[in-house]
Structure 1
Amino acid sequence: MPYLKFIHLERLDCLESFPDVSGAPNIERLILKLCGNLVEVHESLGSLRKLAYLRISHCWKLEYLPPLIDMPLLETLDLSHCCNLKNFPKVCSGMEKLSNINLHNCPQLQKLPEELGSMVNLEELRLSFWDHSANQISCFNFHTLPKLFLRKLDLSCRQIEDQKFLNNLHAFSSLEELCLSGNSKLLHLPSSISHLSRLKHLELNECQQLRNIQGLPSGIQILKATDCRVLEEIEDLTEEYKQLAVDRRLSIWIPGSKIPSWFEHQHHGREIALKFPTNRHTNITGFVVCVVFRNEWPFKQTEIEDSTLSIIYIPIGDFWRQMQLYGLKPDDWSPLLEGRCCLNLNVVSSSIRVERCGAHIMYKEDTESVQQITTSISDYRDLEDKHFVDWFFWYRIEFKVMNIDL
């Protein structure tokens, strides 16, 4: 089949062996997905020199790949969810286009070849695991990790015990995004993390022994640290880390049922109305929304309190951008800005019961309140949809303009 370019084989439990493809040298894209009984791959796959995309994922019985891959045009290599994969093939030095490697949920894989260090365009490496509580996870041998000029490195749920590796993170000076979530061995951030001058995104979710967060790079923009149950201290983020509070959505989730008193607009239920002061609307920087909801999930644990308090900051930039995406122009909102209409805020959810909500309009002079909010950051989400709503976990915040009696 000399003219064959694409192969996509999915959910074929009858497939036990991927055959010799030396007669099809022009394959550009190859996908083997959810082939639960695939146990071997012919070594000729490693010599597809025109292959640009290779995905062998969710092939749970596959243990070995071809010993050598020589694919000078390969850009993406996805081997995720191959739970029994034990070897990573040797890589020829000419594979300079390789930019993305996903080895997510490959618990038996313990090392990478040193040849990856010559991959000058390799930007993303994902060595994460989906379940940090699973007993079958092998500790990754980080001594084998070559020096790479990565932009993104995901080590979620890899139990990093090697302090020497953690203390030499400055070897990854090009990193922009680092994920260390699910690491039960991490007690505090290594000092070397402060040397990652390009780091903008750091995830530390579910680090159950993490007690403090200090020494962050000054350029950090996104910090996620959800479900860190013994976390006691986060350093003052208001001075050096101003990028964290520039046009960013922030949220804090804590046990509790009392809305802070500085939310001057409070109401029982899921709906509340906000009125813009006529002489101050040009100084508005955003909205802070507080929601008290009842925990009624079937997986509720005894140590979780009955009610949870969620505080979310929505910058005014998001509000105006959504307004434009919704086809509305500033002139259409003059009744709101002039105080002749109010903004109706509605908490919409099918999975939680909202008991009470509150809102606060944030102004430029409210710098102290902004500082209080930015010292406890747990989630940030990019603006993705074109609906005039803002999604946060199990609920969304919906705005509507309502007429009011003057």
Structure 2
Amino acid sequence: MEHLKRIYLGRTAITELPSSFENLPGLEVLFVEDCSKLDKLPDNIGNLKSLGHISAAGSAISQLPSSVADSNVLGILDFSSCKGLVSLPRSLLLGLSSLGLLRISYSAVMEIPQEIACLSSLTGLHLSGNNFESLPASIKQLSRLRSLHLEDCKMLQSLPELPLCLKSLELRDCKMLQSLPALPLCLESLNLTGCNMLRSLPALPLCLESLNLTGCNMLRSLPELPLCLKYLYLGDCNMLRSLPELSLCLQSLNAWNCNRLQSLPEIPSCLQELDASVLETLSKPSPDLLQWAPGSLESQPIYFGFTNCLKLNGKANNKILADSLLRIRHMAIASLRLGYEKAINQKISELRGSLIVLPGSEIPDWFSNQSSGSSICIQLPPHSFCRNLIGFAFCAVPDLKQVCSDCFRYFYVKCQLDLEIKTLSETKHVDLGYNSRFIEDHIDSDHVILGFKPCLNVGFPDGYHHTTATFKFFAERNLKGIKRCGVCPVYANPSETKDNTFTINFATEVWKLDDLSSASGTSDVEELEPSPKRICRANQINTP
């Protein structure tokens, strides 16, 4: 069997392997995972110079053969869930200079020896679920280490100085951890879920993109957030009263059950403008997209969730509703920019827009079109002005009474959006349906869902046309329905100060009714939108 390269003996009742693998010179991979009766590996397994991957996860092995260190090509060593394994042989660590990944998670290791620094090629170290109280100071010498996994190390109380090149640090459910050292400047992902003894955080690295603090219920404040932060999770951080200014790149903020949070963070101070190339790119999808099923390549929605943050209701909520137009404007611009970035790098079939969920039962006044119940119908203006429609802001208040008491509480809101476009010669319908993301929290009070749904590529005709937009909202999964809803068209408006730049304006921003008919050159056109509130002058609009 000199050409045998892989042995896989997973989930078998095997109790013993041959004492020597010397007759398998070509062996590269040995898997004996979940062999719960196997307690020993061959003594001379390390003599094989081609052996690059050993995995005995879930076996009954209590010690590692020291001869493994003789393999100068071994890249992966996995002894996770070996409950009898309580130590790492120092001699083993001294010899594995080629090892790239060491995984000994959920075993019974009581101590990590200083010699771990000898693993000079190590890029991944997974030690989750073990019983050690600390890591050796020598770990900072692992100059190639990129990921360090220490989840469920329930005895871990502190960390030494960490390697400068570390990009991912996983500390979920390290319940005894009380403090963190200075974080590496290259760190991109930090997971502190369930670290409920932490009272403060050090300065966050500028490269950090994901921060998970779910269940850190002793944290009273957060440090300044990095500019490139994309994902922030704050569920059950019930000592937080306020949040710092958010990153301009933030795509997801989930702060459920932060029951002391009294105010939302300041709206990021960014330019509320879009380059014309953004709208041009998003308005002209590649024909190749027609080969993909709808939604198969959706851009990620921007989501800010404040479910069960009940202190935000009342006086604070009035301020939030007053600021909601600015928040939706910022999130709409951010979602269009995000969609543009994805469109130029890869194909997308749908822009998902943005969504914010917070306690309350009122629809903000700037929604010029409001209705009790779950449906609403509006008329859009005719001619070239309508071609600058880039989407709709929407608002819904779902009825959170459960259909049945035993149902698991989660829901999402679905919007059926249909545009009926009539010209003198034809009528066409454009389906622009929208699904919000799942809301999985147990909610017992009214919440408001505010969002922006992009709808580029509608294809409005050049001449006179009559367009009706019909919205029907549905509360899916265990809910009664929709109490109230509102919609507001959103248009692109050329910037008066910068060429090839657009702002986005909402239909509630005042414009003069006379400007539309005078710009169109047709005085007897039927006025299609009775609301006196419009967004800008039609003669300022140029189709992107």
**Do Structure 1 and Structure 2 share a fold, with TM-score over 0.5?**
yes
Asked if 1:365 is matched to 2:482, the reply is no
Residues 123 and 307 (structure 1 numbering): CA distance in 2 closer, same or farther, change over 3 Å? same
**What's the offset of the Cα at 1:48?**
4.2
Q: Which secondary structure does the structure 1 equivalent of 2:54 belong to? A: strand
CA contact (8 A) 2:80 2:107 kept: no
Q: Deviations over 1:327-362 (max 9, x none)?
A: xxx47x558xx665757666584x432511746355
* Counterpart amino acid of residue 360 in structure 1: V
2:388 to 269, 272, 282: 282
Q: State the partner residue of 2:232.
A: 202
* Counterpart amino acid of residue 149 in structure 1: C
Asked if 1:162 is matched to 2:179, the reply is yes
Residues 66 and 361 (structure 1 numbering): CA distance in 2 closer, same or farther, change over 3 Å? farther
Rounded Cα–Cα distance in structure 2 between residues aligned with 1:288 and 1:2: 66
Rounded Cα–Cα distance in structure 2 between residues aligned with 1:138 and 1:368: 57
**What's the offset of the Cα at 1:22?**
1.2
Q: Residues 114-125 of structure 1 correspond to what in structure 2 (within 5 A)? A: 114-125=137-148
Q: State the partner residue of 2:154.
A: 137
CA contact (8 A) 1:290 1:359 kept: yes
Asked if 1:101 is matched to 2:117, the reply is no
Residues 236 and 51 (structure 1 numbering): CA distance in 2 closer, same or farther, change over 3 Å? same
Q: Which secondary structure does the structure 2 equivalent of 1:64 belong to? A: coil
Q: Residues 215-230 of structure 1 correspond to what in structure 2 (within 5 A)? A: 222-230=252-260
**What's the offset of the Cα at 1:275?**
7.1
1:309 to 447, 450, 474: 447
* Counterpart amino acid of residue 117 in structure 1: K
Q: State the partner residue of 1:149.
A: 165
Q: Residues 254-265 of structure 1 correspond to what in structure 2 (within 5 A)? A: 254=358, 264=369
Q: State the partner residue of 1:188.
A: 221
**What's the offset of the Cα at 1:137?**
2.3
Residues 211 and 109 (structure 1 numbering): CA distance in 2 closer, same or farther, change over 3 Å? farther
Residues 226 and 76 (structure 1 numbering): CA distance in 2 closer, same or farther, change over 3 Å? farther
* Counterpart amino acid of residue 55 in structure 2: I
Q: Residues 225-236 of structure 1 correspond to what in structure 2 (within 5 A)? A: 225-236=255-266
Rounded Cα–Cα distance in structure 2 between residues aligned with 1:64 and 1:218: 46
Q: Which secondary structure does the structure 1 equivalent of 2:260 belong to? A: coil
Q: Which secondary structure does the structure 2 equivalent of 1:91 belong to? A: helix
Rounded Cα–Cα distance in structure 2 between residues aligned with 1:29 and 1:314: 49
Q: Residues 7-406 of structure 1 correspond to what in structure 2 (within 5 A)? A: 7-20=30-43, 21-33=45-57, 35=58, 37-45=60-68, 48-67=71-90, 68-69=92-93, 70-80=95-105, 82=106, 84-88=108-112, 90-93=115-118, 95-96=120-121, 98-104=122-128, 106=129, 108-129=131-152, 137-142=154-159, 144-159=160-175, 160-162=177-179, 168-169=202-203, 172=205, 174-189=207-222, 191=223, 193-194=224-225, 196=226, 199-214=229-244, 222-239=252-269, 245=331, 246-247=334-335, 250-254=354-358, 264=369, 268=373, 278=382, 279-285=385-391, 287-288=393-394, 290=396, 292=398, 293-295=400-402, 296=405, 305-307=443-445, 309=447, 311=449, 313-314=451-452, 316=454, 330=457, 334=460, 347=474, 349=476, 351-356=477-482, 358=485, 360-361=487-488, 363=490, 364-366=504-506
**What's the offset of the Cα at 1:95?**
2.5
**What's the offset of the Cα at 1:183?**
1.8
Q: Which secondary structure does the structure 2 equivalent of 1:116 belong to? A: helix
Residues matched between the structures, number: 337
* Counterpart amino acid of residue 162 in structure 2: P
Q: Which secondary structure does the structure 1 equivalent of 2:388 belong to? A: helix
Q: Which secondary structure does the structure 1 equivalent of 2:47 belong to? A: coil
**What's the offset of the Cα at 1:78?**
3.8
Residues 365 and 216 (structure 1 numbering): CA distance in 2 closer, same or farther, change over 3 Å? closer
CA contact (8 A) 2:208 2:229 kept: yes
* Counterpart amino acid of residue 355 in structure 1: G
CA contact (8 A) 1:294 1:308 kept: no
The structure number with the bigger radius of gyration is 2
**What's the offset of the Cα at 1:206?**
2.8
CA contact (8 A) 2:395 2:451 kept: yes
CA contact (8 A) 2:145 2:163 kept: no
Q: Which secondary structure does the structure 2 equivalent of 1:238 belong to? A: coil
Q: Which secondary structure does the structure 2 equivalent of 1:101 belong to? A: strand
**What's the offset of the Cα at 1:92?**
4.3
* Counterpart amino acid of residue 63 in structure 1: V
* Counterpart amino acid of residue 401 in structure 2: R
* Counterpart amino acid of residue 353 in structure 1: L
**What's the offset of the Cα at 1:290?**
3.2
* Counterpart amino acid of residue 91 in structure 1: I
Q: Deviations over 1:229-262 (max 9, x none)?
A: 3222343033169898311654444455665565
If the length of structure 2 is used for normalisation, what is the TM-score? 0.50
1:5 to 28, 38, 55: 28
Rounded Cα–Cα distance in structure 2 between residues aligned with 1:347 and 1:163: 45
**What's the offset of the Cα at 1:4?**
1.3
Q: Deviations over 1:267-304 (max 9, x none)?
A: 746x777876553352425554536243455577xx96
CA contact (8 A) 1:99 1:122 kept: yes
Rounded Cα–Cα distance in structure 1 between residues aligned with 2:212 and 2:85: 27
Rounded Cα–Cα distance in structure 2 between residues aligned with 1:241 and 1:19: 65
* Counterpart amino acid of residue 52 in structure 2: E
Residues 305 and 38 (structure 1 numbering): CA distance in 2 closer, same or farther, change over 3 Å? same
CA contact (8 A) 1:149 1:174 kept: no
Q: Deviations over 1:93-129 (max 9, x none)?
A: 4624x3333444x252433333432334433333334
Rounded Cα–Cα distance in structure 1 between residues aligned with 2:49 and 2:467: 70
Unaligned runs of 5+ in 1: 130-135, 321-329, 370-406
**Sequence identity percentage:** 20
**What's the offset of the Cα at 1:205?**
2.8
Query: RCO higher in 1 or 2 (8 Å CA, sep ≥ 6)?
Result: 1
CA contact (8 A) 1:79 1:103 kept: yes
